[in-house]
Amino acid sequence: MKQSIFKDKTCIGHALMLFANIIWGLNSPVAKEILNYGDGVITPVALSLFRMLGATILFWITSLFLRKETVRHEDMLRLFFAAMLAIVFNQGSFMFGLALMSPIDASVIATTLPITTMIIAAITIKEPITGKKLGGVFLGATGALILILSSFQGSKTSGSPYAVWGAIFCLIAQLSFALYLTLFKDLIQRYSPVTLLKWMFMYATICFIPFSYGDVIDIEFHQLPSSIIWAVIYVVGGATFLCYLFIPIGQKTLRPTVISMYNYVQPIVASIFAIMIGLDTFGPIKGIAVVLVFAGVYFVTRSKSKAQLDAELAKKEA
C-alpha cells in the first residue's frame, strides 16, 4: 500500500526547504533596503541583533505551548557551538557582507553553499560524492548562475572598494552554515526544533549583545518609517524565525547536500520578484535556468546515501 504524500516525512522536509528558501530569496533585497535607509541608520550589527533577539523571544514563547523537553548537560556545549556556526557567524557575516556589496553579488556567492556542503559532508560524515550528486550540484549551480547573470545583466552593482571584503564575509557565512548542516545532524535528530533553536538563539544573542549594544541605542526608533519597520519584521519573523524553524525539521529527513541544494531556489524567487515589479522580463534563457535548477535538485535527491551504498555492498557480499 502506497504511503500518502501528506504522511511522507521526506515530502514534508522538501516542502519546508522550498518554503524557507522562497522566504530567504526575498531576504537579501529587503535587508539591503534596511541597511541603506538613512545612510546606514540601522547597521549590519544592529540588524543582526534584531534577528537574534527577536527569534529568541519568538522561540521561547512558542516553547511555552509545547511539551517541555530537557536538554542533556553534555549537549548544551554543543548547542553553543552550533549557535556560533548557524547564527552568529552565518547571520553576522552575511549582514556585513551584504552591507559592502550588492544583493546580486551576494546571490552569486550563495551558490557556493551546496558545493561546500557536499565537500564537508564527504569529509566529516563520509557522505559519498556520487556521479549523480556531483552532476546535480553542477546543474543547479549552472542554472542559478545563468538566472542571476541574465536577470541582472547590465545592472549596476555596488562598485564599493570594500566589495572584496563583502565577498569574504559572505563566503564565511556560507561555510559556517555548511559546517552546521553537517556537524550537528545527530544533535538535531535528538531534540525538537523549538527546543534546539530557543537555546541556540539565546546563546547567540548573549554573545552578540556586547558588540551591538552601541549601534542599537543610537537608533531613533520613533523616526523609522513604517516601511522599514515592516521590513525588519519580515527579516526577523520570516527570514529568521520561520526559516530556522523549517531547517531542523528538514534535517531530520534530508541529507545535508539535499538541504543546501534548495539554496538555488533563491535566485529564482529574486527573478520572479523582479518580473512582478516590472524590473525584468521572463524569456527562454530564464526558463532553461529554472529547469536546470530543479533538475539539479532532483538528481541530488535521487543520489544514493552512504547508508544505501553500504546496504547494497552488504547485499552483494551476502
Residue 255 in any domain: the answer is yes
- Find the DSSP H helices in the chain: 9-36, 44-63, 73-83, 90-100, 103-110, 113-124, 131-151, 163-183, 185-190, 193-217, 226-233, 243-251, 256-261, 265-276, 284-302, 306-317
Give the pLDDT band of residue 2 (cuts 50, 70, 90).
very low
Full domain range(s) for residue 220 = 9-317
For range 211-232, the mean pLDDT: 92
* 159 has a pLDDT exceeding 60: no
Residue 316 is predicted with a pLDDT of 67
In the block, residue with C-alpha cell 552575511: 94
What pLDDT is attached to residue 199? Answer: 96
Note whether residue 235 is domain-resident. Answer: yes
Q: Read off the C-alpha cell for 229.
A: 519597520
- What single DSSP character describes residue 72? P
Which of these ranges, 2-6, 10-14, 116-120, 201-205, has the smallest mean pLDDT? Answer: 2-6
Nearest to 235 by CA among 18, 2, 28: 28
- Kindly report which listed range (26-40, 103-117, 168-182) carries the lowest average pLDDT score: 103-117
Burial of 187 (0-12, 13-18, 19+ CB in 10 A): middle
Domain count, the chain: 1
Does residue 233 surpass a pLDDT of 90?
Answer: yes
> Does a structural domain hold residue 313?
yes
The confidence score (pLDDT) of residue 4 equals 44
Q: How far apart are CA 229 and CA 287, in angstroms?
A: 35
pLDDT at 158 over 50: no
Q: Which residues contact 125 (CB under 8 A, 6 or more apart)?
A: 182, 185, 256, 306
HSE, side-chain direction, 13 A CA sphere, residue 252: 18
In the three-class reduction of DSSP (H, G, I as helix; E, B as strand; rest coil), residue 89 is classed as helix
Collapse the DSSP code of 162 into the 3-class scheme (helix H, G, I; strand E, B; otherwise coil) and give the result: coil
Percentage above 90 pLDDT, the chain: 31
In a domain, 18, yes or no: yes
Whether the predicted pLDDT of 156 surpasses 50: no
More confident residue, 18 or 28: 18
Report the 10 Å Cβ neighbour count for 285. Answer: 14
Q: Is residue 3 part of a domain?
A: no
pLDDT value at position 281?
A: 61
The single-letter DSSP state of residue 125 is S
Q: Residue 150 and residue 144: Cα distance in Å, rounded?
A: 10
Whether residue 4 is contained in a domain is answered as: no
Largest CA distance in the chain: 73
CB contact at 8 A, 208 and 83: no
Is the pLDDT confidence value at 8 over 80? no
Q: What is the pLDDT of residue 81?
A: 95
With beta carbons less than 8 A apart as the criterion, state whether 99 and 52 touch. Answer: no
- Is 84 among the domain residues? yes
d(CA 46, CA 281): 35
Residues 6+ apart with CB under 8 A from 298: 136
Is there a domain that residue 65 lies in?
Answer: yes
Query: Taking a C-beta distance cutoff of 8 angstroms, is the pair 301, 133 a contact?
Result: no
Q: What is the dihedral of CA 118, 110, 277, 15, to 10 degrees?
A: 30
